[in-house]
Amino acid sequence: MKLSMPLMYAGNPREAADQVSALEKAGLDTVWVAEAYGFDSPTLMGYLAAKTETVEIGSAILNIYSRTPGALLQTAAGLDNVSGGRAILGLGASGPQVIEGFHGVPYSKPLGRTAEVIDIVRRGLKREPLTNDGIIKLPLTKEDGAVTGLGKALKILTHPDRDTIPIYIAGLGPKSVEQAAEIADGWIPILFHPEKAHLVWGDALAAGRAKRSSDLGPLEINAGGMVAIGEGPETKALLDLARPTFALYVGGMGARGKNFYNDVARSYGYEKEAAEIQDLYLSGKKKEAEALIPTEWLEAANLVGPASYVQERIAAFREAGVTNLSLTPATEDPAATIAQVKEWVS
């Protein structure tokens, strides 16, 4: 089981990135860099490549709308070069509020577009000319909206270090998860409840794996949560630090009736809480929404408590199929925490 970590920062990602080298020495295998509508991921990923030596550097996620397939290919190949072959390309559809609101691009056909982008990037890494005749048109012809009609199929000018780079899909909906299991190297879920994940995604994962090409290895799954090892109520109290994030996703990410994370909460069996959390959050009562996040869910989705309990949670994530345990240390010495968990999973 690998150990990964999302790059957590509050306004200054450079400071957070500077800490990754210590975590790398402690045994961290992968660091994931989010983007949403904050700082862009590739800039921070390139900075991390210069500050580290062995840790894999992944985007979690780059959306498949605001950059062309060619630009995503360039980013993946460029990062792989400056990192010495440590790049992971995490892709996802994001959501309509970000795609249409922040980027001004129509949020249409997310599954089809994701599949085409992955296919184009994979062929592009092998230095095949970029061609496609689907949702994405390459080269663009006058019939498809080209102004000059002079576009030609081009292959990437430089030679990528690797002709294959791991591609992960971040998805929550059944069709998206099925697609990840079918065509991606890995899958990135969020708010993952190991004991209940099969209720939400079991059928989708099975359906996707049934269609998976033998050319791909086993599906990697990257999931986890906050980690703190310690006795006493003060350690368990740290679970409350996760409440704002859970409430943000369940209550505030997306519009009413179009919130993928709220759907996940309902599928876990928290229908009543999900509805109330969303009502409170969207009416500005964030603290009240946070208080309604089920403690059972927080305990299951995070690794907070005595050493024996954290080890039990590691086993639960492993049993649920997680191959890359994502950790967010909530301790004064994150490197020591990573080192301890690394010892347990090795």
Residue range 299-333, pLDDT digits in tens? 999 999 999 999 999 999 999 999 999 999 999 99
**Residue 16: predicted pLDDT:** 86
| 221-265 pLDDT per residue, tens | 999 999 999 999 999 999 999 999 999 999 998 778 888 899 999
**Residue 283: predicted pLDDT:** 96
Q: Which two tokens stand for residue 51?
A: 């500050």
Cβ atoms of 33 and 57 closer than 8 Å: yes
Dihedral sign, Cα of residue 256, residue 261, residue 267, residue 271:
negative
Helix (H, G, I), strand (E, B) or coil at 130: coil
**Residue 95: predicted pLDDT:** 86
Q: Strand 137-138 and strand 132-133: pairing?
A: antiparallel
Compute the average pLDDT of residues 183-206. 97
Compute the average pLDDT of residues 185-213. 97
Within 13 A of 178's CA, how many CA atoms are on the CB side?
11
- Tell me: pLDDT of 93 over 80: yes
Residue 339: alpha-carbon gap to chain centroid: 23
Q: Rounded to whole angstroms, what are the CA distances from 264 to 2, 24, 173, 248, 269?
A: 25, 32, 8, 14, 9
Q: Provide φ and ψ at 62, rounded to 5°.
A: -95, 130
**Residue 17: predicted pLDDT:** 85
Alpha helices in the chain (DSSP H): 13-26, 41-51, 69-82, 96-101, 110-125, 174-183, 197-210, 233-236, 243-247, 260-267, 271-282, 286-291, 295-301, 307-319, 334-345
**Residue 254: predicted pLDDT:** 76
**Over the chain, what is the mean pLDDT?**
96
